[in-house]
Structure formats: structure tokens, C-alpha cells
Amino acid sequence: MKFISEFRDSVLIQKTADEIRRLTSGTGRTFRIMEVCGGHTHAIYRFGLKDVLPKEIEMIHGPGCPVCVLPEARIDAGLELVRHEGVIMTMFGDMMRVPGKYGTPLDMKAKGADIRMVYSPMDALTIAQKNPDKHVVFFAIGFETTAPATALSLIMAKKQHLTNFSIFCNHIIIAPPLRALLDFPDLRLDGFIGPGHVSTIIGCKPYEFISAEYGKPVVVSGFEPLDLMQSIMMCVRQLIEGRCEVENQYGRAVLWDGNSRALAALEEVFDERNSFEWRGLGFIPHSGWKIRDEYAEFDAEKRFSVIETSVEINSEAACGDVLRGLKKPHDCPLFGTVCTPENPVGALMVSSEGACSAYHQYGQRLHEIEIPSNFKLQEETVV
């Protein structure tokens, strides 16, 4: 079992596609399904699944890319910290190309700022241990997926009595924006493909309100093409049978009650904020984590008294509508012209998991140029 090829089996995927087609044909309706997670959006384009699905299925890209939803005010406030003497700023690679008022972290690095890419907050902790005369800040982003690792780094830092390490905390919580989306009056959605990675931590329970209060099905899904196809099939089946339940397609990684040790680490270190701002969605109550008072010494916001200033965004950018599933990326006037992966205006274009970036990378030009329907590589001449 290699856990990749098995879930990319083209025969099984075709069979699943056939079943979805059988279920939807003749219903005369469109099934509008939101994949919450940016990883799913990326996979749908990367594997060309849109072309495999029948026209009755419309996939809508959700707000599940933490880089994309981070408001510019927070980006600016975090990057402001680099200007303090002796600060080493660390962050995930995705953050390095996010533009703020000082340019992107990459621009700032090119001009001499000490900004380093890390793969884990634990790497940032190691940098702090190795540089006792510097102060290392980790620019923490992500849902409950990455938050436990941040929590662990703080628990370790406290144990080791480190005094030169802190976190600029932008961790966010997945359920509140889904409720906010469902409360939008103009939202037309039939069901959700639930995020996979975050659910390995929180389990399926936090989505129960979606079926109980809003009557929409949720299927928590893995990231391989077969996972997604099966999840879409399960969602469609629920809709046709008139059910609305939380189902777990990603059973090989997600437990119903989540990962209790990771949840305990979150509980130890973090507390809910009253409110947190989301790009495109505005302020959402109880949607972010802050660092508990017991760990205040490691809270960069307290340590450096961070001040957020409001930021004007390009008024033509349709990031908000795209995040709410009201517009497709190519409906935005800036898409592919002013806003490109090379020079992103909105964060949806920055991260490879952002809907606009995925559209641009894998599909944009296909909207302009029809692929011949008979396109097929000729029979292999080589044995």
C-alpha cells in the first residue's frame, strides 16, 4: 500500500464518474457543491476532475486557504515586526509571496530583512535556540491543521525557558466562517465537501450544525482524485435521497472525534478571540485563536505591541465574491491581467491553494481556447 497510486486508479475513478452521471442525469437540476478546502480546489484542477464530472455538478471554491483569507492589515502588522532590531522572522513558504504594504516577504528579504522560510514552527524554535542573541518570531497561520504544531512549539519553548521566541498568531477556526457563509442571504449552495486535513485534528463533529441547522450534507474528504470523486458521489447521493448528514469519506485519516492529543495541545495554549477578520468575509465572531495569558511571554502581539492599521484594497478586486462562491475567479476584472501569480493583488492568487491561482495555473487559458474534443495522444509507438 503506497497510499497514492491506489487513490489515482483511473478505472475506479471512471466508475465513480459513471455513477455520479447516472445519479444526476435526468434530475434536471444543478448540484452546487462547495469544496471548503484549498487543497481540494488545487487537486480538482491538477487532476482535471472538472472535465470528468457531469455538467450537473458545479464545484464552488470555499474559504479554506489560510493564506488567502488573511487580511492585509494582519500581514502588514506581522511584517512590521521585522523592523525591530535583532528580529528573525520565520514563516511557511506560502506566506513568502503574500504582498503587504512593504511588498512581499520575499521582496523584503531581497532588501536585507532576515526573513526565513520554515517547514514547521519547530524549525523556528530551533533557529531561536541557535541564535540566543536574536529574537525569533514565527508568523503563525492556518486552521486547526497547523495550530497544534504551533501550540507544541510554545509548550516546548516554555519548558526550555526560551526568552527569544514568540508567535505572531493568526490561527483560525474552520467552523465559524462556514456558518457565516451559510448566513449570507445570496448564497446558493446544496452541500459541502468537508476539509480533510483540518478534520484529522477536529474530527467530523464540528460540522454537525451544518446538517442539523441548515439542512445541508457534508462529506469530509481526502485529497486524492478518487477521494474527491467518491465524496462528490456521496454528497450527490445524500441530496437525491433527501438526506443531510455529516459523512466521513476520509476514514483512513479522520476519526469522528478528531485527534484528542492535538486538541488538548490547542486547549492548553490557545483561547478563542471574540472576533477575527477574514479577507473577503469581514469580521467573524469566535473565528480565531489567540495565545492564552499563561503563554503571554511568547505572544509577539503583546511583546511588540502590534498595531493594526486598516488597509484599502483594490476596489475592483472580487476576492470576496469569489470566496463566497458568488463569482468564478475569471469573472473578476483583475483576473489574469492585473492580478497574476507573478504579481498577485488578492491573496487568492498567492497561494497555490487559492482558487484564483489554481484557475490560473491549470485552467485559465482553457476558457479562452476550446480543447478539441477528439484530443487524444496517438497510440504509443514505443514499447
Partner 1 sequence: MSTNPVKFYDSSIQMAHGAGGKASRRLVEGLIAPLFGLAEISGEMSGQAMTLNDAAYLPLGSAGTLAFTTDSFVVKPLRFAGGSIGDLAVNGTINDLAVSGAKPLALVSSFILEAGLSSEVLEIEVRTMAEAAKRAGVRIVGGDTKVVEHGSADGMFITTAGIGLVDTRAHLGAQNVRVGDKVIVSGPLGDHGITVLLARGDVDLETDDLRSDTRPLWHLVNALLTALEGSTEALRWMRDPTRGGAASALNELANDCGLCVALQDEKIPVRESVRGACELLGLDPLTIACEGQFIAIVAPEYAERACEVLGKEAVVMGEITQTPAKTVISKTQYGGTRVIDMLTGDPLPRIC
Residues that bind partner 1 (CB under 8 A): 2, 4, 8, 10, 13-14, 17, 45-52, 93, 97, 106-107, 110-111, 119, 225, 341-342, 352, 360-366, 368-372, 375-378, 380-383
Print the SS3 string covering 26-80: CCCCCEEEEEEEHHHHHHHHHCCHHHHCCCCEEEEEEEECHHHHCCHHHHHHHHH
* Closest distance of CB 104 from partner 1, Å: 9
* Closest distance of CB 341 from partner 1, Å: 4
Q: Which long-range contacts (CB under 8 A, 24 or more apart) does 161-164 make?
A: 162/125, 162/128, 162/129, 163/297, 164/128, 164/131, 164/132, 164/133, 164/134, 164/135, 164/136
* Closest distance of CB 158 from partner 1, Å: 24
Q: By C-beta, is 312 or 342 nearer to partner 1?
A: 342
* Closest distance of CB 241 from partner 1, Å: 26
Q: By C-beta, is 107 or 268 nearer to partner 1?
A: 107
**Residue at grid coordinates 445524500:** 238
Q: By C-beta, is 131 or 364 nearer to partner 1?
A: 364
Q: By C-beta, is 148 or 206 nearer to partner 1?
A: 148
C-alpha to C-alpha distance for 34 and 96, rounded to whole angstroms: 28
* Closest distance of CB 54 from partner 1, Å: 12
Q: Are 181 and 207 in contact (CB under 8 A)?
A: no
Q: By C-beta, is 170 or 357 nearer to partner 1?
A: 357
Q: By C-beta, is 110 or 296 nearer to partner 1?
A: 110
Q: Are 353 and 326 in contact (CB under 8 A)?
A: no
C-alpha to C-alpha distance for 70 and 78, rounded to whole angstroms: 11
Instruction: Give the up-direction half-sphere exposure of residue 227: CA atoms within 13 A in the CB hemisphere.
Output: 29
C-alpha to C-alpha distance for 7 and 50, rounded to whole angstroms: 17
* Closest distance of CB 171 from partner 1, Å: 20
For residue 316, give every residue at least 6 positions away whose Cβ sits within 8 Å of its Cβ, in sequence order, or none: 332, 333, 334, 338
Containing 184, the helix (H) or strand (E) segment is: none
* Closest distance of CB 276 from partner 1, Å: 26
Q: Are 321 and 313 in contact (CB under 8 A)?
A: no
* Closest distance of CB 382 from partner 1, Å: 5
Q: By C-beta, is 130 or 376 nearer to partner 1?
A: 376
358 DSSP 8-state letter: H
Q: By C-beta, is 177 or 225 nearer to partner 1?
A: 225
Q: Compute the 3-state secondary structure of the chain and give helix, strand, coil in percent, each to the nearest 5.
A: 45, 20, 40
